[in-house]
Structure 1
Amino acid sequence: MLPQEVWKAAKGYLEVNLHKNMYRAWIHDCEFVSFENDTFTISVKDDYKYDYISQRLWPAIRQALTRVYGQEVEVCFVLAEDSRPAPDLPSIPNVYPIQKKSSSAPTFTDDYAEFSRPNFGWKSNLNSNYTFSGFITGPNNQMAYEAAIQVIQNFRKTAYNPLVFYGDVGLGKTHLLHAIGNAYQKRGYKALYVTAEEFTNQMVDAIREKRMSEFRERYRYIDVLLIDDIQFVANKNSTQEELYHTFNALHDGNKQIVIAADRRPTDIKGLSKQLASRIAWGLAVSIQMPNYETRLAIVQKKAALQGFQLPEGVAEYLAEQPTQNIRELEGLLNQVSARASLLKLPLNLAIVEQIISEGHLQRDIHVFQRRLTVSQMIERAAAVMQIDLEEILGQSRKREIATARQWVIYLTRQETKASWPEIGIAMGRTHSTVLRSYQQLEKKIKADPALQLKAHEMRHQILQMSR
């Protein structure tokens, strides 16, 4: 088969296996130029297409060529008008080296974005469990949901840029951010989720280590930026300045920005006029408390996702409980199911009523709200763990002490919502150390009902000490 025919057949393979809109937009008018030293040279029409194909589609194109040709090949791209490799991309080579040959080539999947672009140590921070299919809509969040769908369906064309979700904690803002990011990634775009606190900490680290150019490239060399808890940057002038320029760069590049806040951006005190003005360019949508019907649907959906069906009356009873937000409602379901499982009790209405009344779940809901300072919380958590405070704050690496220290960090963050630097200072450790410790335990708790119950019990004990 002639090289020209190989390219034609590879295009046919791509047309079948890629989304039809992606193929038509990026691959259809690419032409064969030459074939030398096992390298196909392909021409593209303009700079914009060159950038996109070089950065995102080259693995798919190389895979198709390798499949048709019968052995591994390389591929490079040139601009059609001058047949010279396009410049302007110093960080990405024009010819991509072939990785070590494997016994079976990767196949196309629905999660196309996972292999459709080179991975330069990239991490999106997206939680794949948060999708649109798992998001329960109701009158409280319908507009936010519709706006999210619009920015997915109309990338680079929507006026909702930035799109801002605002409302109290635990109402689904973070879920929507991740759902948007996951949807974009499945379409081959590069999305990045980050909290405003993480952005600030990364910027501080970059300044200290003199890596600001690398930091800026990370946040401006993307298609979609999803930033959570924007209120954290209030009164942080340097962070706001960097965010402002980042937003400008992304907006000017026709990239999408999605933001979440605990209140309307115009109500965030300590936000600079220029950053507030930039945020105001888009659409701000509120998310409210769900009504009973939505709460009921949430309980039923979450139970189904956990693999069990609630008996008659149980879901309704849980939906009626005075939780303040969706997160607490889900937590209530988790506590009830975990306690019933561990105590070997049937999960019926009578048992659930007994668990809630005897297990002090109902009256423990939303009791902290930052009533305790970081230092007070650390002291109480250490007491509950029955470990001397000096040992918690010390350098001992004994397993018992290290585990207790991890729980203290977890409980302190959960109940005070203090920043990582605040907790780090109080614990005598760096913010990155306490963050890593928290994340390790959080992952274990999410996967283990017994640990979920233990966390609740310790929280209750701390509450009793605070009364």
Structure 2
Amino acid sequence: MEAGDLWKKALNILKEEINRPSFDLLFKAIDPVSLDGTEFIIRIENTFKYDAIKRRFYDHLSNAINESYGSSLKLKIVGLQSNKLASDKRETKDFYKFTFDNFIVGPSNELAFAASKQISDFYNSDFNPLYIYSDVGLGKTHLLLSIHQHLLRQNKNSIYISSERFTNEYIKSIKERKTEEFRERYRSCDALIIDDIQFLSGKAQTQEGFFHTFNELFLNNKKIVIAGDDPLKLVDLETRLVSRFQSGLVVDIQIPDFETKVAIIEHKLDYFKLSLSKDIIDYVANLCQVNVRQIESIINRLKAMASLTNHAITIENAKSMIVGFDEIKIRNKPEPSLVLPAVAAATGVTEDEIRSNSRSEKTVLARRISCFILNRDLNLTTTASGSILNKNHASVINGVKYIENQIKKDFKLRHNLQKVRNTLKIN
């Protein structure tokens, strides 16, 4: 019997055993490769079909082939790599370097880390879904990829994808009339991990598709992990989606404290096999105020300097190299006169109100943000800062201390502060 004849007979049997939509969707345009009396090989180039058949219909297909052949054959399916890993490698070239083992835990991220570890244990987590939010560059993607890899090691069909790519695939499936394949891919997985959920803002049709996918997975006890830049009350998504996210666990990652940044730097140095003195490590930790990614950029720069010049890295040439590197320059200092207009635009409080003696909660907060930016970001003295704000230096000191204390635990405050910094181009 030829391979093609065996394949036709097996399909006729299979057609009677599985539902017609699945048969029509999955088993057309598949090529039999060879038949040698002990093994029958078929080729499936479509990754969606490959995964679905191996996961759901392998036994059905194997039985149909053996019945058609009249004796036992080993069924071998060849084709592209399973989309569990292939899609992830396309999503990020650094896929394998993000693990729980190399995530540096500190007070700013310990709850998010613990929650991520628990939900990655497929059968023993107490909550679902998990929503993680933070400013950019603080470790959300690292945790998501760690969850993803841990689930894959449990032989779970986990999909990690950015919401931008999810949107693009959804639009493509509509254009190519392949929405059934799209739905099957995402609704048949064991875990769906979506990064940068804020990208779905304003995309009503994609949100509709994601809502139904979410419900299908949730009702079947599949894991759902979502990450975004904003707390749920600030996320511009449909209310019913936000409500679904709130039904699980919501955690944030805060800006790391000095000690955690030092630990991150030391870990990166070990990874890059680079040695720096304590004064340089402390300098870098103090320099990187808002974004952990800046640490790796700085270390890459210093490593290149050491290898290309064969010179030891001192605090003097480290400072020179870092300040001259525009992509990671931490402190761009705008004119002080621009600060109050930027704060006013971000908070809705007028410049005159900021300078006034008003004690309204909104005005006081705007004034304190102004104190912090003038004194900490622009390095003005408390007296000079007070002169701009029509306040004495003691008021500036109190305002700065308040922001320093609250910024560690108040995401909305960090969000507003970052809006002002972005306006002023303070990196």
Structure 1 and Structure 2 fold alike (TM over 0.5): yes
Distance 1:195 1:92 in 2: 33
Aligned residues: CA RMSD: 3.1
Moved more, 357-366 or 254-263: 357-366
Partner of 1:339: 305
Q: 1:340 to 1:120 in 2, by over 3 A?
A: closer
Moved more, 172-181 or 344-353: 344-353
Partner of 1:232: 199
Partner of 1:223: 190
Q: Is 1:267 paired with 2:234? A: yes
Q: How far did residue 294 of structure 1 move?
A: 0.4
Q: How does 1:279-298 map to 2 (within 5 A)?
A: 279-298=245-264
Distance 1:352 1:340 in 2: 10
Q: Normalized against structure 1, the TM-score is what?
A: 0.53
Distance 1:366 1:128 in 2: 34
Partner of 1:135: 103
Distance 1:251 1:173 in 2: 22
Partner of 2:49: none
Q: For each residue in 1:332-390, what CA deviation from the matched residue of structure 2 results, as whole angstroms up to 9, or x when unmatched?
A: 2222222333333322333212323455676456899xxxxxxxxxxxxxxxxxxxxxx
SS at match of 1:98: strand
Moved more, 243-252 or 327-336: 327-336
Conservation of the 8 A alpha-carbon contact between 1:322 and 1:362: no
Conservation of the 8 A alpha-carbon contact between 2:297 and 2:328: no
2:276 counterpart letter in structure 1: L
Partner of 1:119: 82
Distance 2:305 2:98 in 1: 26
SS at match of 1:342: helix
Conservation of the 8 A alpha-carbon contact between 1:156 and 1:256: no
Q: For each residue in 1:72-130, what CA deviation from the matched residue of structure 2 results, as whole angstroms up to 9, or x when unmatched?
A: 879xxxxxxxxxxxxx9458754261369xxxxxxxxxxxxxxxxx8368634161110
Q: How does 1:176-187 map to 2 (within 5 A)?
A: 176-187=143-154
Q: 1:330 to 1:367 in 2, by over 3 A?
A: farther
5+ residue gaps, structure 2: 1-37, 41-54, 63-73, 90-94, 335-427
How many corresponding residue pairs? 269
2:106 counterpart letter in structure 1: G
Q: How does 1:374-385 map to 2 (within 5 A)?
A: none
Q: How far did residue 181 of structure 1 move?
A: 0.4
Q: How far did residue 158 of structure 1 move?
A: 2.8
Partner of 1:174: 141
Partner of 2:162: 195
Partner of 2:284: 318
Q: How does 1:248-259 map to 2 (within 5 A)?
A: 248-259=215-226
SS at match of 1:226: strand
Partner of 2:75: 97
Among 103, 114, 132, the alignment partner of 1:146 is 114
Which structure has the greater CA radius of gyration? 2
SS at match of 1:128: helix
Q: 1:138 to 1:250 in 2, by over 3 A?
A: same
Conservation of the 8 A alpha-carbon contact between 2:134 and 2:254: yes
Distance 1:90 1:188 in 2: 17
SS at match of 2:131: strand
Distance 1:121 1:148 in 2: 19
Q: 1:99 to 1:248 in 2, by over 3 A?
A: closer
Q: 1:187 to 1:177 in 2, by over 3 A?
A: same
Q: How far did residue 266 of structure 1 move?
A: 2.4
Q: Normalized against structure 2, the TM-score is what?
A: 0.57
Q: How far did residue 235 of structure 1 move?
A: 1.7
Q: How does 1:72-91 map to 2 (within 5 A)?
A: 89-90=56-57
5+ residue gaps, structure 1: 1-71, 75-87, 101-117, 369-467
Q: For each residue in 1:250-280, what CA deviation from the matched residue of structure 2 results, as whole angstroms up to 9, or x when unmatched?
A: 11111100000101122112x1121111111
1:132 counterpart letter in structure 2: F
Conservation of the 8 A alpha-carbon contact between 1:195 and 1:230: yes
Q: 1:132 to 1:94 in 2, by over 3 A?
A: same
1:183 counterpart letter in structure 2: H
Q: 1:296 to 1:205 in 2, by over 3 A?
A: same
Structure richer in helix, relative to its length: 2
Moved more, 336-345 or 174-183: 336-345
Higher relative contact order (CA 8 A, sep 6+): 2
Q: 1:91 to 1:217 in 2, by over 3 A?
A: farther
